[in-house]
Amino acid sequence: MSGAPRIATAGTRQLDAKIPSGPMPEKWDRYRFGAKLVNPANRRKFTVIIVGTGLAGGAAAATLGEAGYNILSFCIQDSPRRAHSIAAQGGINAAKNYRNDGDSITRLFYDTVKGGDYRAREANVHRLAEVSVRIIDQCVAQGVPFAREYGGLLDNRSFGGAQVSRTFYARGQTGQQLLLGAYQAMMRQVGTGTVKLFPRYEMLDLVVADGRARGIIARNLISGTVERFEADAVLLATGGYGNAYFLSTNAVNSNATAIWRAYKRGALFANPCFTQIHPTCIPVSGDHQSKLTLMSESLRNDGRVWVPKRAGDKRPPAQIPEDERDYFLERRYPAFGNLVPRDVASRASKAVCDEGRGAGETGLSVYLDFADSIGRLGEHVIRERYGNLFQMYEKITDENPYKAPMRIYPAMHYTMGGLWVDYNLMSTIPGLFVLGEANFSDHGANRLGASALMQGLADGYFVAPSTLPNYLASTPLSKVSTDHDAFREAEHTVQAKLDRLVAVKGRKTPREIHRTLGRLLWDKVGMGRTDAGLKEALGEIPGLREEFWANVSVPSAGAEMSQVLEYAGRVADYLELGELIALDALERRESCGGHFREEYQTPDNEALRDDEHFAHAAAWEYAGEGRLPIRNAEALTFEYVKPSQRSYK
């Protein structure tokens, strides 16, 4: 890392990822054999808080509850079933090789490390690929209705960054079906008494007592009361922070508060600038929108992406003859064609729009055209594969995608960054585990499609249920009650922040300020980032934050149900996190995956990594209010997948 000029203080923390020894394919087995166990009769003596009931948290609660631990499960929604995971559309990867097209655990491992532009930890990724095959068995046993072929075998399709078909799916509703599987398994444990649900609760702080995570402070969102909960360990499975950008494909309730407040209690935050912009979303249509809608990547199996060859060509698509169309992904990347990874496809779409060749009124969209597939396969096949997505598109745009090509444009979608975790999924706070999208672990600088569901379920069904007992069995945990000073202090901090929000009594809604922040992040910390733009963002965010605390309007008494108060707290956190995203992006003077610094590109405009200085995860440490955070680094070594210039040509 020497040679890279710094603006943030370089930390000296030794980040031990605790990667087991031995050859890569044996590490996970070796780990599990060496891990300490908790006797079945002793498990009920341990209380574990799990915040989040999406695929990661729901799967963990079901599995740990089944094992006999005493689980307290929290979520914001009125039902665990309404976690954001329910929105996932296209599918889940697994190295089953049902298609016999050359897939294997090694190939999934390789594709994922390469897809992440060599910024993920090899050992975690290999484990993910190994566990992937068991996830499908688990879900089938639960009755998840994956699509099947005529002969009855599970069907597969392809997602970006892979030349095999390894994606299992349930039409365009895979997340919903998987979540129902996890939910019913969790509800069975609610029935047996091992899992206790706390819906409509928002975790607002982590309690660290005697150096360990021992509980949370959560607000009852119905009554407004702030409550204390103690445990022997805390698992955060609270999802990603894409909503910092205001417009994103995430559910409106997705937020960063739990991980951000854990960061302020000492958990390091890794690679916050690794954010994913998804190439195929319904374009922004005006200022009235509060969210964007994804059109699943699976559509690129059968849809062809194109724009007119001539800049400024505003003819309707049907009037543009074949030889005047530019199928730019197929042209630039003949080997992967329309199924290049998301970062590559998003940048390519932006580039043709920047050249003035974008479609639609605004020129900020490209066509996703199914005419060829409909001609070849028949409309009924396309309807069977993507019916609900086509319907959703038509409802939102009032255009029939069976008759005219869809118009799509990149949008904020997923966050690869998150709380730093070691191989155990434990953060830098002992006893605090982080699962699913909330951690940074497996996707490096770019996540391949259909790999988030795989990771969330791997973490929840298989990884945490092996690593958490190791922690509980090997750690002497003193008795801590909610009277402990740490609980009192954390509750006081939470209450003071809520009171402060209510007391401002300003004139701007949290939404207005959030929208301004989102625009700033999208423009300056979005698809293309520059030194000057990032410095501008860093110059503007503190002023916006000041404006928020001087002029936000929260019409609430605090101790009552108030969605504006909930939202204002989350925006306050985005205003701090947004700054860290920009700082991380400024400090990472290279391009990799979704982090594209315009100064660092290859002659044909692809991301240009700097492995000499940046082959590491940047893990940011909170240094106190008003002080620059400290940038620590976990060096990444690649023994099995040697870094090279990513090519999908």
Ligand X SMILES: Cc1cc2nc3c(=O)[nH]c(=O)nc-3n(C[C@H](O)[C@H](O)[C@H](O)COP(=O)(O)OP(=O)(O)OC[C@H]3O[C@@H](n4cnc5c(N)ncnc54)[C@H](O)[C@@H]3O)c2cc1C
DSSP string of 161-189, one letter each residue: T-SS--EE-STT-HHHHHHHHHHHHHHHH
Residue where the block lists tokens 């195929």: 280
CA dist 628 and 617 (Å) reads: 18
Distance CA 261, CA 294 (A): 29
Judged by CB under 6 A, which of 48, 60, 87, 412 binds ligand X? Answer: 87
Please identify which of the residues 43, 261, 332, 342 carries the catalytic annotation. 342
Residue number with CB closer to ligand X (74 or 146):
74
Residue nearest to ligand X (CB): 54
578 binds ligand X (CB under 6 A): no
| Region near ligand X per CB under 6 A, out of 128-136, 201-209, 402-410, 485-493 | 201-209
| Least Å from the CB of residue 27 to ligand X | 24
Q: CA 405 to CA 177: how far, in whole Å?
A: 28
305/58 Cα distance (integer angstroms): 36
Select from 87-95, 313-321, 420-428, 475-483 the region that touches ligand X (CB under 6 A): 87-95
Residue 110 burial by Cβ neighbours in a 10 Å radius (0-12, 13-18, 19+): middle
What do you get for the CA distance between the two ends of the chain, in Å?
30
- Distance in Å, CB of 262 to ligand X, minimum: 10
User: Looking at beta carbons only, is 128 or 538 nearer to ligand X?
Assistant: 128
Of 257, 427, 467, 470, which one interacts with ligand X (CB under 6 A)?
257
Residue 239 found at the interface with ligand X (CB under 6 A)? yes
Nearest approach, Cβ of residue 261 and ligand X (Å)? 8
Least distance from ligand X to the Cβ atom of residue 343, Å: 15
Point out which span in 250-258, 362-370, 402-410, 507-515 binds ligand X (CB under 6 A): 250-258
Shortest separation between residue 533's beta carbon and ligand X, angstroms? 26
| Residue 92 interacting with ligand X (CB under 6 A) | yes
Q: Should residue 57 be labelled a site residue for ligand X when binding is judged by CB under 6 A?
A: yes
- Give the binding range for ligand X (CB under 6 A) out of 84-92, 117-125, 375-383, 577-585: 84-92
Closest CA to 594 of 449, 416, 439: 416
Altogether, the residues listed in the chain come to a count of 649
State which of residues 11, 24, 27, 52 lies at the interface with ligand X (CB under 6 A): 52
Q: How far is the CB of 51 from ligand X (least distance, A)?
A: 5
Query: Contact region for ligand X (CB under 6 A) — 78-86, 318-326, 498-506, 521-529?
Result: 78-86
Residue 82 annotated in active site: no
Residue type, position 28, single letter:
W
Which stretch in 195-203, 316-324, 356-364, 639-647 sits in contact with ligand X by CB under 6 A?
195-203
Give every strand in the sheet of 406-415, ordered side by side. 275-281, 406-415, 366-369, 304-308, 325-326
Contact letters for ligand X, residues 115-154 (x by CB under 6 A): ----------------------------------------
Phi and psi based region of residue 121 (left: phi greater than 0; alpha: psi -120 to 50; beta: remaining): beta
Measured from the CB atom, the residue of 235 and 534 that comes closer to ligand X is 235
Nearer to ligand X, 301 or 632 (CB): 301
CB 124 within 8 A of CB 442: yes
250, 424, 428, 470: residue in contact with ligand X (rule CB under 6 A): 250
Q: Which of 31, 74, 260, 409 binds ligand X (CB under 6 A)?
A: 74
| Options 55, 162, 208, 421; binder of ligand X; rule CB under 6 A | 55
Q: Which of residues 455-484 bind ligand X (CB under 6 A)?
A: 456
Q: Does 84 bind ligand X (CB under 6 A)?
A: yes
201 vs 600, which CB is nearer to ligand X? 201
Q: For residue 74, list its beta bridge partners.
A: 51, 198
Backbone angles phi, psi at 83, to 5 degrees: -60, 155
Neighbour count for residue 603 (Cβ, 10 Å): 6
Residue 258 makes contact with ligand X by CB under 6 A: yes
Binding positions for ligand X, 13-32, rule CB under 6 A: none
Backbone Cα Rg of the chain: 24
What's the rounded Cα separation, in Å, for the pair 283 and 409? 5
348 near ligand X, rule: CB under 6 A:
no
- Main-chain phi, psi angles of 118, to 5 degrees: 60, 45
Of 524, 629, 633, nearest to 585 by C-alpha is 524
Q: How far apart are CA 595 and CA 391, in angstroms?
A: 33
CB atoms within 10 A of CB 112: 30
Contacts to ligand X from residues 418-457, by CB under 6 A:
436-438, 450-453, 456
Q: Which of 300, 389, 385 lies closest to 340, judged by CA?
A: 300
Token couple for 648: 């999908």
Nearest-5° Cα angle at 386, 381 to 389: 150
Which amino acid is located at 475 in the chain?
A: T
Binding stretches for ligand X (CB under 6 A): 51-57, 74-77, 83-85, 87-92, 174-175, 201-203, 237-240, 249-250, 254-255, 257-258, 294, 296, 413-414, 436-438, 450-453, 456
Active site (catalytic) residues: 342
